[in-house]
Amino acid sequence: MDLLNTLVEKGLRRETPTREEALAVLATSDDELLDVVAAAGKVRRAWFGRRVKLNYLVNLKSGLCPEDCSYCSQRLGSKSEILKYTWLKPEQAAAAAGAGVAGGAKRVCLVASGRGPTDRDVDRVSQTIAAIKEEHQDVEICACLGLLSDGQAERLKDAGANAYNHNLNTSEATYGDITTTHTYADRVSTVQQAQAAGMSACSGLIAGMGESDADLVDVVFSLRELDPDSVPVNFLIPIEGTPLAGDWNLTPQRCLRILAMVRFVCPDVEVRLAGGREIHLRTLQPLALNLANSIFLGDYLTTEGQAGKDDLAMIADAGFEVEGTDTTTLPAHRADAAAAAGSGCGGHGAEGGGCGPCGDAAPADAVTADAVPADTVPAQAAAGATVAAPAGTLESHADLVAVRRRGAGTDLPPNA
């Protein structure tokens, strides 16, 4: 049985592939790309059908962060000409969130720059959550405020936060190369605190920072072990004024292989196509919907994204549908386990997080592994050969990077 058939069957059983199999996905050539997408697409459809969940970012506080994350335009010492402002008032944040909800967003992600929130910051965010829920009681709220201190996760959950985002970003072995002001272990601890408090954990990665295939597999396997409910896959946006401004290490084809690998390793998890999709996938964005079941609508924190109306058109044209608030995002086995724990995993009407163990098979009517083209992967890939990230820097697409000048923190309407 060839590699892709094996990975599809494992995905339908929620069985973890081997590291060699994950590496082999990244090692496939462009000639096998559509076969890889088709195979991973079977797993995506088995657990999530053709639904696409929309998420909307609200940057509550922009810039002036004391941390030194190399990829971030809000970092200490950043020369990026981004918007800089202190905390939005609850009514301002609620108005921004409302634009996203009106555009079809099911989840609003409240983000603030900084190492982590003070207790006063948690109070501010709690007031903002209340303001949003007053207008949109069915919307999911995900907070992303940095490293959490004791008791803060519980307070955010009590305030109505359904989820907490804190990305691992890259492998533990290379984490010190991109950030020195906090550790990989700090990030893992915050994700675990959110889970322990009953919030749904959201944690993902950034590809394109010069990492190897082995680094990508390492971080995705670490995420699988942490078992978040959603895994955002970001592609580095090389922003002027940051240390990684000149790093153009991704092609559209590599982005698709990375997304496919994440889907095979995390078959029943909400895989979110996140920052950088427009810049690196470009005209191949619709293909990525066969791998990811979730995207951000409109703009990002400090950069502009594709127009919201174009996001919706892309979803429709590719034959997918926007997921409604009356639909539970995650498969029943994950949602049921969350409900039993008194928490929620991104489903309508649920609060918090927590997930069931692996081992359940896909629903009886799920797509099977049949008809995945046989013998499409070369022997060296099936044997687990590693292909490093592209050597050097690829063609720059800096002309596609636009700093956000609208929405939160401005007087201009948001993109949603």
Look up residue 416 and give its amino acid: A
Give the residue, 117 or 336, on which the prediction is more confident: 117
The reply, when asked if residue 266 is annotated as ligand binding, is: no
Q: Is the pLDDT of residue 1 over 80?
A: no
pLDDT band at residue 349 under the 50/70/90 scheme: very low
Q: Is 109 known to sit in a ligand binding site?
A: yes
Under the banding of pLDDT at 50, 70 and 90, the label for residue 339 is low
% helix, strand, coil for the chain, step of 5: 40, 10, 50
Check the annotation: does 142 bind a ligand: yes
Domains and CATH numbers, the chain: 51-246+269-357 (3.20.20.70)
130 has a pLDDT exceeding 50 = yes
Residue 11 confidence (pLDDT) above 50 = yes
Task: Pick the more confident residue, 408 or 378.
Answer: 408
**Is 202 known to sit in a ligand binding site?**
yes
- Which one-letter DSSP state was computed for residue 183? -
Residue 142 CA to residue 360 CA, distance in Å, equals: 27
65: annotated binding-site residue?
yes
**Confidence (pLDDT) at 350:** 32
216-220, 365-369, 370-374 — which is least confidently predicted? 370-374
Cα(132)–Cα(400) distance, integer angstroms? 32
Q: Is residue 102 scored above 90 in pLDDT?
A: yes
Average pLDDT over residues 285-308: 95
The mean per-residue pLDDT over the stretch 39-64 comes to 97
User: Which residues, including other chains, have CB under 8 Å from residue 131's CB and lie 6 or more apart?
Assistant: 90, 91, 93, 94
What pLDDT does 361 receive? Answer: 66
pLDDT for 340 equals: 61
For residue 101, pLDDT beyond 70: yes
pLDDT of 254 over the 50 cut:
yes
Residues labelled as active-site residues: 65, 69, 72, 109, 142, 202, 272
- Give the per-residue pLDDT at 392: 58
Separation of alpha carbons 68 and 179, rounded Å: 6
What pLDDT is recorded for position 220? Answer: 98
pLDDT at site 60: 97
97-111, 189-203, 219-233, 383-397: range with lowest mean pLDDT: 383-397
Residues 194-218: what's their mean pLDDT? Answer: 97
Instruction: Give me the mean pLDDT over the 190-212 stretch.
Output: 97
Task: For residues 293-302, give the mean pLDDT.
Answer: 95
Give residue-wise pLDDT tens across range 62-96.
998 999 999 999 888 888 889 899 999 999 999 99
pLDDT in the model for residue 83: 87
Confidence bin at 397 (pLDDT 50/70/90)? very high
* Lookup result for tokens 């359940």: 360
Work out the mean pLDDT of the chain and round it to a whole number: 89
Which residue shows structure tokens 């982590």?
116
pLDDT value at position 363? 64
- Res 366: pLDDT: 56
Q: Are strands 140-144 and 205-207 parallel, antiparallel or unpaired?
A: unpaired
- Nearest-angstrom CA–CA distance, 264 and 41: 10
> Residue 52: what pLDDT?
98
Kindly report the backbone phi and psi dihedral angles of residue 111, in degrees, each rounded to the nearest multiple of 5, phi listed first: -120, 145
